[in-house]
Structure 1
Amino acid sequence: MIFHHSKFEYDESDLALFAKIAINVRLAFYYIHVMTRREQMDFTRFAEKLMAMDDESWARHSNPWSVYTRFSILPLMSLAFWSREWIGSYSLIPILLSFIWIWLNPRMFGVPAKTNNWASMGTFGERIYLDRKINPIPDHHILPTIVLQIMSGIGLPIFIYGLYSLNIWALVLGNMWIIVFKAWFVDRMVWLYNDMKDTNPQYLIWLKS
């Protein structure tokens, strides 16, 4: 059988491993937080720099196909890591491809002709949120956005544990947890864009009906 019974259950060693992973992930987030604060950034800005997003990349990422297919990243990564059960060391190939997909996704699709939709406006809101130190955003968006990012991050150690141990339940929970809060984050960014689009001529240029 592909899935072994032991991988569907938690034992003491599993829980100990999960605790270690959670601690290490928390330390990693703390390190990133310290480093990004030193550069007066936040984690979202850090991720943008890591992805080397420029105006052209953002314009392409506003394509709804780019936004919706981005939700496939975690499931594809899960399959890639699980493939070591089927193809052994050759699983490095799909694992590498899954990481390439993360970088390629915002750049793969063309600039959309119309952006008057939920997905496109979500990317516009994210750009506005990233530039909030230059162009302040309404206070009622700041705390909810931070909370959504934290809630999404809580699912990360669960997801990592699922990848490491090939625990199907941890993988499913981690995927669903992160994707749900990511979608909620995008929805909040749509709200932010609608609140801010009339405050800057550049924001209105992004919107194409």
Structure 2
Amino acid sequence: MTIDYSHVREMMVEQQIRPWDVLEVRVLDVLARLPREAFVAESHRALAYADIELPLGHGQKMMKPVIEGRTLQALDLQPTDEVLEIGTGSGFLSACMGELAREVLSLEIHPELAERARQNLDAAKLGSNVRIEVADALNWQSQRQFDAICITGAVETVPVELLKLLRTGGRLFAIRGVSPVMEAVLVQADGSIASLFETDLDYLQGAAPAPQFQL
């Protein structure tokens, strides 16, 4: 059976994303245009627009479309923004941010995922302003600063070192806490924090809480 991806993409926006209070026109436009199916394994393409996480390999998963929509809306990316993404994954969110911002630098700890994400972007003719580097973001050093930072895996607490990479007026999106009770937050460069919504997400590699041993 041939899938009409443009139709299921529209249904995803209207039945999943918009009802979850994602109303920013530019975000809805990007999610309605970009071919999410091009960023998942061929064996999962029929599920590319379903309200589920999809496996990417190396224990990583692609976020649900609703979480991607809420993430993009929270970041409120502007055409002049420079963005740092922590965790490239499939490259789909990288592509979305690349459509909304001036430039995206995406860090991915797994070389195979980084290479596949670049292939996905190239095949979809997207991401000309997206640069992917293989790096452990929690130990990454840079003098560069960014207007927005997006962490695509959960953290127990927001890493202070990443906050130092924000420009004045910048903001960082993260999902923090201890599973299964986590909250999405937007942290401003001045340290103020806005709680956005509750969810549960797999931890960024190296960011999971230490195991609690009980006698």
Instruction: Identify which of structures 1 and 2 has the higher relative contact order when contacts are C-alpha pairs closer than 8 Å and 6+ apart.
Output: 1
TM-score when scaled to structure 1? Answer: 0.23
Report the structure, 1 or 2, having the larger strand content: 2
Structure number, greater radius of gyration: 1
- More helix by proportion, 1 or 2? 1
TM-score by length of 2: 0.23
